[in-house]
Amino acid sequence: MSRIFSGIQPSGELHIGNYLGAVKNWARLQHEYDSIFCIVDYHAITIAYEPEQLRARRHSMAVSLLAAGLDPNVCSVFVQSQVPEHTELAWIFNTITPLGELERQTQFKEKSARQESVSAGILNYPVLQAADILLYRANLVPVGEDQVQHLELSRVCARRWNSLFGHRTGNKTEDGADEREQFFPEPEPLLTPTRRIMGLDGRAKMSKSMGNTIGLLESPEEIWNKLRPAVTDPKRIKKTDPGTPEVCNIYHLHKAFSPVATVEHVATQCTTAGWGCIDCKKVLADSIERELVPIRSRAAELAAKPKMIDDALSAGADRCRRLARDTMDAVRDRMGF
Ligand code: SF4
Say if residue 7 is in the same domain as residue 43. yes
Query: Is 17 within the bounds of a domain?
Result: yes
What CATH number has the domain bearing residue 84? 3.40.50.620
More reliable by pLDDT, 136 or 202: 136
Q: Is residue 170 part of a domain?
A: yes
Percent of the chain that is helix, strand, coil (3-state, to 5) = 55, 10, 35
| One domain, residues 222 and 186 | no
In a shared domain, residues 223 and 320: no
Instruction: CATH number of the domain at 236, please.
Output: 1.10.240.10
User: With a 6 A CB cut-off, is 251 part of the ligand 1 pocket?
Assistant: yes
Q: Are residues 98 and 188 in the same domain?
A: yes
Kindly state if the Cβ of 227 falls inside 6 Å of ligand 1.
no
Please indicate, yes or no, if residue 137 is contained in any of the structural domains.
Answer: yes
Answer yes or no: is the C-beta of 232 below 6 A from any ligand 1 atom.
yes
Based on the domain organization, do 55 and 108 belong to the same domain? Answer: yes
Q: What single DSSP character describes residue 276?
A: -
Active-site residue, from 109, 172, 205, 226: 205
**Residue 147 confidence (pLDDT):** 83
Q: Is residue 210 part of a domain?
A: no
CA distances from 7 to 48, 52, 78, 100, 243 (A): 20, 21, 10, 25, 38
Tens digit of pLDDT for each residue in 204-240? 889 888 889 999 999 999 999 999 999 999 999 888 9
Active site residue 111: yes
Report if residue 204 sits inside a domain. Answer: no
pLDDT of residue 109: 85
**Parallel, antiparallel or unpaired: strands 168-172 and 178-180:** antiparallel
**pLDDT (0 to 100) of residue 302:** 96
253 with 319, same domain? no
Query: Is the domain of 170 the same as that of 237?
Result: no
pLDDT tier, 2 (very low <50, low <70, confident <90, very high otherwise): very high
Q: What is the pLDDT of residues 230-271, one digit of tens each?
A: 999 999 988 899 999 999 999 999 999 999 999 999 999 999
With contact defined as beta carbons under 8 Å apart, do 215 and 15 qualify? yes
Question: Would you say residue 202 lies in a domain?
Answer: no
Is there a contact between 72 and 312 (Cβ–Cβ < 8 Å)? yes
Residue 244 domain boundaries: 218-299
More confident residue, 131 or 193: 131
- Residue 208 inside a domain? The answer is no
Q: Within this chain, do residues 110 and 183 fall inside the same structural domain, yes or no?
A: yes
For residue 41, how far is its CA from the centre of ligand 1 (angstroms)?
A: 38
Q: Read off the pTM.
A: 0.92
The pLDDT of residue 291 is above 80: yes
Q: Give the other-Cβ count within 10 Å of 258's Cβ.
A: 21
Do 289 and 311 belong to one domain?
A: no
Q: How confident is the model at residue 102 (pLDDT cuts 50, 70, 90)?
A: very high
Does 205 map to a domain? no
> Are residues 283 and 227 located together in one domain of the fold?
yes
Mean pLDDT of the chain: 94
**Centroid of ligand 1 to alpha carbon of 319 (angstroms):** 47
- The model's pLDDT over 32-68, given as tens digits with 9 standing for 90+, comes to 999 999 999 999 998 889 999 999 999 999 999 999 9
**Residue 195 pLDDT > 80:** no
**Residue 12 pLDDT greater than 80, yes or no:** no
Whether 232 and 146 share a structural domain? no
Residue 119 shares a structural domain with residue 183: yes
Query: How many domains does one find in the chain?
Result: 2
Tell me what pLDDT residue 333 has: 97
> For 146-157, what is each residue's pLDDT tens digit?
788 889 999 999
Cβ(263) – ligand 1 distance below 6 Å? no
Closest of 327, 39, 8, 31 to residue 184, by C-alpha: 327
Residue 118 has pLDDT above 80, yes or no: yes
pLDDT in tens, 19-39: 999 999 999 999 999 999 999
Q: What is the pLDDT of residue 132?
A: 98
Q: For residues 290 and 186, what is the distance between their CA atoms, to the nearest angstrom? A: 40
